[in-house]
Every structure is written in C-alpha cells, then in structure tokens.
Amino acid sequence: MTNDCGPTDTPTDIDIAALREKYRAEREKRLRTEGSRQYLQTGEQFSAFGEVDPHTPYVERDSIDVDIDVAVLGGGFAGLLTGAYLKKAGVEDVHIIEMGGDFGGVWYWNRYPGIQCDNESYCYIPLLEELDFMPSKKFADGAEIWQHCRNIGKHYGLYDGAIFSTQVKDLRWEDDIQRWRISTNRGDDIRARFVVMGSGSFNRPKLPGIPGIKDFEGHMFHSSRWDYDYTGGDSSGGLHKLADKKVALIGTGATGVQLVPYLGRDAQHLYVFQRTPSTVDERNNIATDPEWVKTLQPGWQKERQRNFHAWTFEGMALGQPDLVCDFWTELGRNTAARVLALPDPTAMTPEQFMGLREEEDYKVMERLRRRIEALVEDPDTAEALKPYYRFLCKRPCSNDDYLPTFNRPNVTLVDVSEAKGVERITATGIVANGREYDVDCIIFASGFEITTEISRRYSIDTIKGRDGLSLYDAWADGYKTLHGMTSRGFPNQFFTGFTQVGISANIAANYELQGEHIAYVIAEALSRGITTVEPSRQAQDGWCQTIKESYIDTSAFDAECTPGYYNNEGGGGGEGIRSHLGEPYGPGFYAFGDLLKRWRDKGDLEGLETT
Ligand code: NDP
C-alpha cells in the first residue's frame, strides 16, 4: 500500500564467478534423464490423488441430454471469468462443466492448512471493483479467495446451469448438427454450439514416480486433496490427529513452504524431504488499511496490476512508484536504482541492463541465503535450505514461520538433492540417502502438470474437430492458433491459457483478457446469426508467424536454472527446455490486449471464417 518504496540493502561482498559455478553445479546435481517423465499421472491407479473429490460427496444423478449455446469446461478463474464476460455480453445460455463440486478451481481443490495467495491479493483476485470486494489482507487466505470465486458465480448467474462433479471424457465436433457433442463420466450427452476450454494450469496433480510408491501401507495423499478426516483440523490448522503420527512431506515448493509450519506444529515428527529449496522471504502480511481503501479511484485494480506487471515481468518501471513493493518487485527496484545511477540511463544498452540485473540478482539471492543463516540454528540444516539459483528460476515464496520451524526438535530436513529425489518408498516408510525413515503418512506437495502435453493436462480422452481431426494430433508439432484462442479445424472451440498469447505476471489477468475476447466473438456470432467461426488458414499461419518472430527466447536463462516446472525439468530426457509460459506474444500482455481491442473495434471478425 506504500508509494515510497525504494531499493533494498543487499550484500556486496559476494564472488559472482564462484556463485555462477556453484549455481551450475547445483543444477547439474539435480538434472534427471527422465525429465518430466519422472512424474506419474494420477489416473485410475492413483484416483485418490486426483479423481476423487474429498470436499463434495459423490451423488448419483440422472444423465443430462440437452442442446445448449455455450459449454465452458472448468469452473476456476479461466472458466468463471469467461462465463462472467459472456453474461456481460448478453449470452445467457452458459453452462460451466466442472469436475469439482463447486466453482473455484485451484481454490476449490487446495484447502490445505495454511493456504494463502502468494501474490498480492489486490492485484491477483479478479473483479474486485465489479464485485465491490476488498480482501482482508495483502496475502489473502485461500478460503477468502474461494468465497470470492463463488461470489463471481453468484454475481453473474453462473450457478444457473452449472454442471458440477462431472468430468468431460469426450469432445467431438459433429458437422451434421453443427455442434460440439460432449460426453462425460456421468453419461451426459450435451450438444453445445460453442465450447470454451477453461481447465486452467494447476488442474492435474502430479506424483513423483518414486519406486515402491504403490507399496506404502500407511496413509498418502496429495496436498490438493487434503484429507482432514485423517489429520483433523481445517485450513486454519489444528491438525490434532497428527499428534501421534510421523509425517513425511515430499516437496518444498510454494505449497510445501506453506504447509511446513502447520505440520511441524502438530505432527509428532515431521520429515521434510527437500530436493531443491525455495527462496523464502519475510511475509509482511498486513491487514488492509481502510484509509487506503478510501483513497482508491475507479480503475485502481487494473492500474495496480499493470504496475505490478511492469515491476516484475518487464524488469522495472522507471518513473513509476512500485505500488506492490514486496519480494516480487525487489529485484526490479534494485535494478532500477542502478540504472538511475548511470551517467546517462537513456544510453543504456539491453546488454548493460541484463548485466546490471544479473548482478542485482546475485545480491538479492545472497540476502535471502544470509537470512536463512540468521533464522535457522543448525548450520547443516541452514546450508541445505539455501537456494543456489537465480531469482525466478523457481517461484519465490514468503513465509515468516517456515524457516524457524526447522529449529523444532520434532522437525527434520532430509536433503535428497544428491540422489535427485527420494530414492524409494517401502511398505512402512521412505528411503533417502541410504536410510529408511519410518512414517505413518506421506503427503505429496509435488505440484501439478504444467508443462506436460495437453492430452495429459486436459485429460479428456478424445478431442476431435472437423473430419475427426484430433486436437492432440493437430498440435503435436506445435500450437496452431489465431490469437491463441481459436484453431483451424476446430470450429466454435475456444482456448484459454498460455498458448500464443500475451502473458501477464498475474495469472487471473490473463484469463480475464482472454475471457473478454472469447465472449465478444461468441456474442457476435450469436447476434449476427453466425453458425460457425474458425480461423482461416492464412490468418492462423500469420499469427503463428507473428509468434515465431516476436517470441522472446528465455531458454538461455531457463537452461541455467535448477530443474523444475518453470524449465520443463531442466530439459532432461531429451525434451528440451520448454517454458511453462508456452510461446508468448513477444510485445507483451498489454500490447496483446491493445491488439485484441483494435481487432474487436474493427468489428469485421478479421481472420475468422464464418458460416
Ligand atoms: P511445485 O511443482 O512448485 O513443487 C513440487 C515440489 O516437489 C518441489 O519442491 C519438487 O522438487 C518436489 N519433488 C518432486 N519430485 C520429487 C522427488 N522425487 N523427490 C523429492 N521431491 C520432489 O508444486 P507446488 O504445489 O508447491 O506449487 C505449484 C504452483 O502452484 C506454484 O508454483 C504456484 O504457481 C502455485 N501455488 C500458488 C500458491 C499461492 O499463491 N498461494 C500456493 C501453492 C502453489 P524440485 O524443486 O527439485 O523439483
């Protein structure tokens, strides 16, 4: 909420050449030849990790046999925001089909103890002004965000016609009825004129393919399917049933960092199996100041999102205050201070800028490492917790209780970096570094399918467009879209996500921009009596070419990072570095938004063939 936010104090007594070498060694140590194939799909064998909904009991229902205008697949931010904009555009017959028992997506599924947003909620939570809602603090609790998702559903009438606890299995375009035919695990036959793919990015939990994972006879679950019957308590903690349990936590990403303080407090013993440490800064989670709220003018949220984007994604925003002013924007601020200290900042070359940023990066990371030394008593544990990679190689975290939890006598950090992960799971425990740890319960905070093939991420058995063309085949050698949202051969189908679009640092802002555009096209098609829309070959080829030419290649940065989903597990397994951001439109998110707006303002649906 502050406007006078400057650079931070970071150590200058560092040896960059030595650190560069250390970063390289830490990366090499973790690189696995299996790449992303080291992970298992949850599927039938592991249905309790993915398919089964712990939050809503399964209730039998009659199958649905219906003709509708729009089916939106997914009820998280991607689907909700598209649904909201469809309603705003006057499209009434909208049906969100959702695997969970309610709206919310990640905020529906993820209810683990301590869940909070790691991005400032004033930027992250969409439609705050439209719904006249102000989050209670800078980093809102998951429950508050989930409630906001439901409020979006209510506000825009999206509960009417929503189809929950239902998984789409098969999606086919049928030329004779000029509709998409949607089959589900409930035996539904839904015929929709338009289909929007809104399954989001964190919809499929993934499991490490650790040998013996099927042999464990204790209790296991994934963090996004929290089992409170087993642990007791709720998302605010109080996991009293763990008082006599030895618990293993696998994963120290954003989820693991939030979990550790709660598990450490309540479990008889907690073993944290860490392959790569996260960066963990102070949280400074302040309550929303009502006086600040009174000062906000209409349009404030979009302005704040833009400011955050500039200070993170674009590197810095000279001449603008850093409105968010937290650990996400620190590197931008520190770099900006260096730039402003140059004799002539306007004469700076891109190479000079990258050089200054890299130096500041080493200093920020060193600050974070020294913070660990100050907070963690045991020097070996402190050393193991230190992240040796560049800022934004992994998603940065902030948490005031994470590091001190390792000072508790009932908490043990097990560094499994040398073995590239946990070695083996037995009937009674976990083997790591040649030692077996007996545990009652294993919790996998092992993340989600983010960079795997779309067939895994959508997990819809068949998606067939015109003439039986499979989407999975059509995109096997690369995405082919117009504006990332439509694809030739797939009439009346719309895509959301990170495919050939301009990308914002704020995930929900991406979905809002795309939802608005998709809603426009569908509303226009309906009002103009158009039956099908689909990009022309020429328009699609043109957009693919634009992406190719404008694409800013970050693979050099990604290739030097420790493996993780940001860099497709470091490109191990011959799969190559593939950024989790897909193939972005180079000029950026706001240029993309302007381009779409100009396209809509022209009103001729340029590049779309219509019948
Ligand atoms: P991540 O993919 O970030 O982390 C998975 C963790 O599991 C990593 O620490 C990984 O280690 C570890 N792991 C995987 N396989 C093994 C193995 N075989 N042995 C030991 N460890 C293993 O998942 P998260 O759920 O933490 O986060 C995913 C994303 O979800 C975040 O990046 C963020 O975008 C979002 N999120 C947002 C939150 C928020 O805003 N509040 C909270 C939580 C998540 P390694 O790093 O070595 O691969």
Compute the distance between CA of residue 393 and CA of residue 516 in angstroms, rounded to an integer.
31
Q: Which atom of ligand 1 is nearest to the CA of 395?
A: 32
Q: Within 13 Å, how many C-alpha atoms sit on residue 452's CB side? A: 22
Compute the distance between CA of residue 387 and CA of residue 298 in angstroms, rounded to an integer.
41
Q: What separation in angstroms does the CA of 580 have from each of 393, 451, 554, 598, 606?
A: 11, 5, 11, 28, 30
CA 41, distance to chain mean position in Å, is 18
Tokens at 601, concatenated? 């303002």
User: Is the Cβ atom of 126 under 6 angstroms away from ligand 1?
Assistant: no
Compute the distance between CA of residue 127 and CA of residue 148 in angstroms, rounded to an integer.
9
User: Is the Cβ atom of 446 under 6 angstroms away from ligand 1?
Assistant: yes
For 169, counting Cβ atoms within 10 Å of its Cβ (0-12 exposed, 13-18 middle, 19+ buried), the class is: middle
User: Is the Cβ atom of 578 under 6 angstroms away from ligand 1?
Assistant: no
Task: Using 50 as the pLDDT threshold, list the residues of the chain that sit under it.
Answer: none
User: Is the Cβ atom of 169 under 6 angstroms away from ligand 1?
Assistant: no
Q: What is the DSSP string of 256-284?
A: HHHHHHHHHHHSSEEEEEESSPPPEE---
Instruction: Give pLDDT, residue 2.
Output: 52
Residue 168 backbone phi and psi in degrees, to 5: -75, 130
User: Is the Cβ atom of 425 under 6 angstroms away from ligand 1?
Assistant: no
Q: What is the DSSP letter of 242?
A: G
196, β-bridge pairs: 72, 494
Q: What is the DSSP string of 182-210?
A: EEETT--EEEEEEEEE---SS-SBEEE--
Q: Which atom of ligand 1 is nearest to the CA of 223?
A: 25
Q: Which of 328, 316, 314, 310 is nearest to 118 (CA)?
A: 328
User: Is the Cβ atom of 205 under 6 angstroms away from ligand 1?
Assistant: no
Ligand 1 binding pocket mutation candidate from 260, 328, 446, 580 (most atoms within 8 A of CB): 446
Q: Which atom of ligand 1 is nearest to the CA of 139?
A: 41
Instruction: Give pLDDT, residue 32.
Output: 87
What is the dihedral angle through the alpha carbons of 109, 111, 114, 115, rounded to the nearest 10 degrees? Answer: 30
Nearest residue by C-alpha to atom 10 in ligand 1: 251
Residue 435 backbone phi and psi in degrees, to 5: -120, 145
Instruction: Give pLDDT, residue 452.
Output: 79
User: Is the Cβ atom of 256 under 6 angstroms away from ligand 1?
Assistant: yes
Compute the distance between CA of residue 40 and CA of residue 47 in angstroms, rounded to an integer.
12
Q: Which atom of ligand 1 is nearest to the CA of 117?
A: 41
Tokens at 279, concatenated? 């960066």
The strand pair at 411-415 and 269-274 is best described as parallel
Report the Cα–Cα distance between both ends of the chain, in Å, rounded.
Answer: 51
Residue 497 backbone phi and psi in degrees, to 5: 135, -145
Query: Among the residues of 330-459, which ranges form H helices?
Result: 330-340, 350-375, 379-384, 402-405, 454-458
Compute the distance between CA of residue 393 and CA of residue 536 in angstroms, rounded to an integer.
38
Q: What is the pLDDT of residues 103-152, one digit of tens each?
A: 999 999 999 999 999 999 999 999 999 999 999 999 999 999 999 999 99
Nearest residue by C-alpha to atom 3 in ligand 1: 253
Angle at 487 between CA 484 and CA 492, to 5 degrees: 105
What is the dihedral angle through the alpha carbons of 469, 471, 472, 474, rounded to the nearest 10 degrees? Answer: 70
Compute the distance between CA of residue 191 and CA of residue 69 in angstroms, rounded to an integer.
8
Q: Which of 200, 255, 192 is nearest to 76 (CA)?
A: 200
Tokens at 367, concatenated? 């600050």
Residue 308 backbone phi and psi in degrees, to 5: -65, -45
Instruction: Give pLDDT, residue 3.
Output: 61
CA of 93 to the centre of ligand 1 (A): 38
What residue ranges define each of the domains in the chain, with the CATH number in brackets? Answer: 1-30+300-325+329-395 (no CATH), 69-204+450-610 (3.50.50.60), 207-283+398-444 (3.50.50.60)
Nearest residue by C-alpha to atom 12 in ligand 1: 251
Q: Which of 573, 423, 560, 563 is nearest to 35 (CA)?
A: 573
CA 190, distance to chain mean position in Å, is 29
Compute the distance between CA of residue 221 and CA of residue 202 in angstroms, rounded to an integer.
17
CA of 600 to the centre of ligand 1 (A): 39
Q: 68: how many CB neighbours lie within 10 A of its CB?
A: 19
Q: What's the Rg (C-alpha) of the chain? A: 24
Q: Which of 299, 359, 368 is nearest to 334 (CA)?
A: 359
